[in-house]
Amino acid sequence: MLMSIILLILAAGVPYYLILEKNKKLNSEKIFLISSFLVLCAIVISSFVTGTYSSLLVIISLLSAIFSIYKATKTTNFYKFGYYLLFINAPFFMLFIREQGVLYTLSLLITLGGVYSIAKHYDKYYGSANYHGISGTTLATPYVGAFLTVYLITLALYPPFPNALFLLSSMIKEEPTLLWYIVVVIVFLGNFMVAMRVMPRTVFGTPNTNLHYVDLTSKEKIIHFIIIILLLALSIIGFKGAIA
């Protein structure tokens, strides 16, 4: 039980970012990194836990997920967007059978790694990771546009990317209850709405004439290619799991 509560705090979205956000020394980037690290710890710790999580933990994580969905619709900062998505997806970590939940969370972290790299790029060239005024990247910086599109599609739970395939395979193998259906429907639509909302704001649209757009450097491109390859590798695992 104690282990379950620790996991709940680490990964299942009791929104400790509320406290962290109040700390002036911690900016959004640091909160994103801390949250990701804690979720990684949760993945490791979960391998020591046997059995399934109680419904109460799932309900708590669902409530914090709903709150995170609300918060995510308010932000225009890639870092914040990243850690909100971690907590939106937390119920899946608790709900799915252990292996599927871990793989799902891992692929989520890798995708968010991609978003983090884009955020760093924005930070470096435009002064902040705020995407509000930097629209039309598909036209102005095609590589940033393409990679960001892939990440957002992945977060919106679309195949052929792994999150959707792990979700599909978990959904077929689970024995659904009413709570299960409620969680899946809310998180599925929540992920979609949050991820797709970013697309018209930054990827699509007319480029801002006051900005000098800079596309990815070769080094950055390599990082993104590695992330995409990792995602595709996970996709293959997810696909095999789904049709098995």
Partner 1 sequence: MLSSMIALLGLYGTYHVITTDEPIHGLGGLFVFNELSAILVPYVAILGLVIRKYATKYMWDEPGYKRFFILLNFIFSAIYMLVMSNNLVILAIAWQLMSISLYLLVSFNVASKSAVKNGSWTMLIHKGADLLFILAVILTYQTFGSVDLGQLSQTWLEMSKNPIDNPTIFVIGLLFLVAAMMKSAIVPFHIWLPYTSEAPTPVSALMHAGVVNVGGILLNKLAFLLLLTPAVLNIAFVIGLFTAIFASVLMLVVPDIKRSLGYSTAGQMGYMIMEVGLGAFSLAIYHLMVHGIFKATLFLESGGLIRYARHDPNIPQRLSYKLFWEEKTEHKSNKTFNLIALFTILPLLIFIGVKMVLSEEFFEFNAAIVILAFGWLTGTQLFLSFFKVSRSDSIKVILALVSSFIIILFTYEFVGLALEHFIYGEHALLFYGAATLNVTIIMSMVALAAIMIIGWLFMYKQHFVDIQKSKMPKRTQWLFYKLLAKEAYVPDFFIKYIKIFKKG
Q: Which residues bind partner 1 (CB under 8 A)?
A: 73, 76, 132, 136, 138-139, 142, 149, 153, 156, 158-160, 164-165, 168, 171-172, 174-176, 181, 185, 188-189, 192-193, 196-197, 200-201, 203-206, 242-243
Output 16 or 143, the one with its CB closest to partner 1. Answer: 143
Minimum Å distance from CB 117 to partner 1? 21
What tokens does 60 get?
């708590």
Minimum Å distance from CB 210 to partner 1? 16
Output 30 or 173, the one with its CB closest to partner 1. Answer: 173
Output 14 or 183, the one with its CB closest to partner 1. Answer: 183
Minimum Å distance from CB 95 to partner 1? 14
SS3 content of the chain, % helix, strand, coil (to 5): 75, 0, 25
Minimum Å distance from CB 176 to partner 1? 6
The answer to whether 137 and 145 are in contact (CB under 8 A) is: yes
How many CB atoms are closer than 10 A to CB 195?
A: 23
Reply yes or no: is the peptide bond before residue 160 cis, omega within 30 of 0: yes
Residue 242: in which H helix or E strand, if any?
helix 218-243
What tokens does 159 get?
């195949």
DSSP classification of residue 200: I
Minimum Å distance from CB 101 to partner 1? 17
Residue 128: in which H helix or E strand, if any?
none
Output 125 or 204, the one with its CB closest to partner 1. Answer: 204
